[in-house]
């Protein structure tokens, strides 16, 4: 089958980029011909055709340029179905291209619904199917009158997560010791990393813990200032963006993953942490309810620093509970591979085509 994938792509980091990149890889392994339509810095991995939109640095213009370029590309390309990721850009390109007879499906990742419900409805109005990455997004779509045909959450790469070293070995490899709490993601308002310095301050009044932050983003400078103001420079370490194989080592080395998100469409970092055998403490919001089973492989709490701190302390002070949660989460997470994700897409594509 000839498939067009439209949206953010490798080497950019982020949940949607990882989702699209692994989906392309697995679809190609299954014998499909894949064309990726993405942004200016997108790169091929396994010989897939990659079409890049012009690089426009002006705020607000980049998205419009991408929609126009993707619409033009979809109209010209020969494919059986287009899989568009993010309703507000790729989904709109699919909508406009559909007037040339092209079939498309829209995958909603969450932030689409927070930004514009009207454009989300428009993007879905001519699609052959609508996909959500969590049951929460499906409920949100249904409340807007948008029929979500499938829930297809992300997966993990078993080649990276199945053969990780022991926790002690991972800590040694990364130069870490003692108790470690990890957070992974983009430093934005939605991900809620601004609460981490407060949580770290509360926890370190009870027990010495290092908080490791993997990622980057617009709030980095603000976070660094807050860490310094609270005198936590020796307790919170910013290590920057890391490739997935190295991030997996950090997951493995940590005693728990802290994910204090305000909004979360799914929560791929939580699934990856569980795949590494590390329990997750996350906000009880959005798609995180699909990923973390409260009190089984982690904790879901209200977004309050004392709530997060209390659960961190429970895990750090109870190794047996920590290990049991980690083992249960790992066993479940490793069953959800990107191959399964691609198979679910192919089942839908075959129905559409």
* Residue pLDDT tens, the chain, 353 long: 999 999 999 988 788 999 999 999 999 999 999 999 999 999 998 889 999 999 877 776 778 899 999 999 999 989 999 999 988 899 999 999 999 999 999 999 987 777 678 889 999 999 999 999 999 999 999 999 999 989 999 999 999 999 999 999 999 999 999 999 999 999 999 999 999 999 999 999 999 999 999 999 999 999 999 999 999 999 999 999 999 999 999 999 999 999 999 999 999 999 999 999 999 999 999 999 999 999 999 999 999 999 999 999 999 999 999 999 999 999 999 999 999 999 999 999 999 99
Tell me 300's DSSP state. Answer: E
pLDDT given for residue 117 in this prediction: 83
Q: What is the pLDDT of residue 38?
A: 96
pLDDT of residue 266: 93
Helix axes 196-203, 305-317, angle to 10 degrees: 50
- Among candidate residues 256, 301, 249, 261, the one with its CA nearest the CA of residue 274: 256
Domain boundaries, the chain: 2-155+337-352, 158-333
158-333 falls under which CATH superfamily? Glycogen Phosphorylase B; (3.40.50.2000)
Fold of 2-155+337-352: Rossmann fold (3.40.50)
Give the pLDDT of residue 61.
79
Instruction: Answer yes or no: are the C-beta atoms of 119 and 95 closer than 8 Å.
Output: no
Same fold for the pair 2-155+337-352 and 158-333: yes
The angle formed by the CA atoms of residues 303, 272 and 283, to the nearest 5 degrees, is 10
Length of the chain: 353
The pTM (predicted TM-score) of the whole model is: 0.94
Phi, psi of 38 (to 5 degrees): -145, -160
- Would you call 156 helix, strand, or coil by DSSP? strand
Measured CA to CA, the distance from residue 133 to residue 137 in angstroms comes to 7
């Amino acid at each position: 089958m000839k498939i067009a994938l439209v949206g953010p792509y490798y080497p950019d980091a982020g949940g949607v980029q990882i989702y699209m990149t692994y989906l392309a890889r697995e679809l190609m392994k299954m014998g499909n011909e894949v064309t990726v339509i993405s942004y200016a810095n997108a790169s091929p991995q396994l010989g897939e055709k990659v079409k890049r939109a012009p690089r426009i640095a002006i705020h607000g213009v980049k998205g419009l340029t991408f929609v126009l370029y993707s619409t033009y590309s979809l109209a010209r390309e020969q494919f059986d179905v287009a899989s568009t990721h993010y309703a507000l850009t790729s989904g709109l390109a699919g909508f406009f291209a559909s007037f040339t007879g092209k079939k498309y499906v829209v995958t909603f990742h969450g932030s689409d619904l927070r930004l514009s419900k009207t454009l989300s409805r428009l993007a879905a109005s001519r699609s052959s199917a609508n996909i959500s990455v969590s049951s929460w997004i499906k409920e949100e779509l249904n409340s807007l009158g948008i029929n979500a045909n499938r829930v297809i959450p992300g997966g993990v790469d078993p080649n990276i997560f199945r053969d990780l070293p022991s926790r002690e070995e991972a800590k040694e490899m990364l130069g870490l010791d003692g108790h470690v709490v990890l957070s992974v993601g983009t430093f934005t308002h939605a991900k809620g990393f601004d609460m981490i310095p407060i949580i770290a301050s509360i926890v370190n009044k009870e027990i010495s813990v290092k908080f490791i932050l993997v990622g980057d983003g617009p709030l980095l400078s603000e976070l660094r200032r807050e860490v310094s103001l609270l005198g936590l420079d020796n307790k919170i370490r910013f290590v920057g963006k890391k490739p997935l194989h190295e991030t997996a080592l950090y997951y493995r080395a940590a005693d728990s993953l802290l994910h204090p998100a305000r909004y979360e469409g799914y929560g791929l970092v939580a699934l990856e942490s569980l795949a590494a055998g590390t329990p997750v403490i996350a906000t009880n919001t959005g798609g995180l309810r699909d990923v973390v089973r409260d009190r089984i492989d982690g904790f879901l709490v209200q977004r309050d620093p004392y709530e997060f701190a209390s659960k961190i302390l429970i895990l750090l002070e109870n190794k047996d509970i920590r290990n049991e949660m980690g083992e249960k989460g790992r066993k479940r997470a490793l069953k959800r591979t990107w191959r399964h994700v691609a198979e679910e897409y192919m089942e839908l594509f075959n129905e559409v085509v």
